[in-house]
Amino acid sequence: TKRGWRERLSGNAFARSLSSLFVRHPKLDDDLLDELETTLITADVGVEASTELVDSLRKRMHKREFADAPALLAALRQALIALLRPVEQPLDVRGRQPFVVLVVGINGAGKTTTIGKLARRWRDERHAVMLAAGDTFRAAAVEQLKTWGERNQVPVISQGQDADAASVIFDALQAARSRGIDVLIADTAGRLHTQGGLMDELGKIARVLKKIDDAAPHEVLMVIDGTTGQNAVNQVRQFRQIVGVTGLVVTKLDGTAKGGVVFALAREFGLPIRYVGLGETATDLRVFEAEAFVDGLLP
Ligand code: GDP
């Protein structure tokens, strides 16, 4: 429900600075717009998107389109929703069996947690789910994935430490096929400081998957930490050079994130934002909804 979004997002720095702005500055004038511009930029919306938005609102204000500050706020709401509407494209895992989701992103972004949440969601939707422990670089990642698997009664395919990620995921897809699994979610390593190594690894994974299913992976889901601000934009740029990202998940928007990064990502890449993370538990992964998200941030 929309209420849940607001509860989770109202502590967000973007939400807080916007509400304080309209309280401090109830009068409709150029100062309000200047401050709005600063607020948006500070909240990670990005300089270009923020200035474009505010310039357009300013023109409309000078044409006397807005009677008061609340009318401006309503126009801001519409403009923010319009920015996000094109990337509101939910992921549909039906139609392929198994539907293969390759999950990528740098360490700490929330990849393993997101995989656990997705496993829970799809299992609850009565899909047979399997996980592949392809982050073979970190023993802890394999253990974490196994824990999520046990908790949700979802099988996890893994091999010993330092196993070859492509071989783990290849075996998992074979097992998934023979067991009639509906959705295979594969974890991958996220050490971006060795970009060459990661590129080779992800390339090899995609290659071996295609030996079993030409169209696999059906989704390359990149997980991004929403608290990293504009750096998130650089991360997506880097990963897109390595692998064909088809969807995004932005995590940790419930915490100290500024939230504006979602607008920056939407404007910069136009990639579908499939889900957002609004907390740490299994049910805190929401299908992205432009309107609910914007309403969660606005006063
Ligand atoms: P990985 O290294 O990318 O696999 O990252 P993890 O899944 O281990 O997550 C790193 C930390 O972020 C953990 O403490 C998670 O509980 C936390 N985390 C992940 N997603 C969210 C979220 O949506 N909200 C909050 N508050 N914490 C999250």
Type and span of the H or E element at 38: helix 30-42
Separation of alpha carbons 135 and 177, rounded Å: 21
pLDDT number for residue 156: 98
Residue closest by Cα to atom 21 of ligand 1 = 252
Q: Is 112 annotated as a binding residue?
A: yes
Averaged over 169-196, what is the pLDDT? 90
Residue closest by Cα to atom 9 of ligand 1 = 110
SS (H, E, C) 45-63: CCHHHHHHHHHHHHHHHHC
pLDDT band for 193, please (50, 70, 90 cuts).
Answer: low
Residue 226 in contact with ligand 1 by CB distance below 6 A: no
pLDDT number for residue 137: 83
Q: Is 251 annotated as a binding residue?
A: yes
pLDDT digits (tens, 9 = 90+) for 80-130: 999 999 999 999 999 999 999 999 999 999 999 999 999 999 999 999 999
pLDDT number for residue 113: 93
Q: Do residues 54 and 33 lie in contact, with contact meaning Cβ atoms separated by under 8 Å?
A: yes
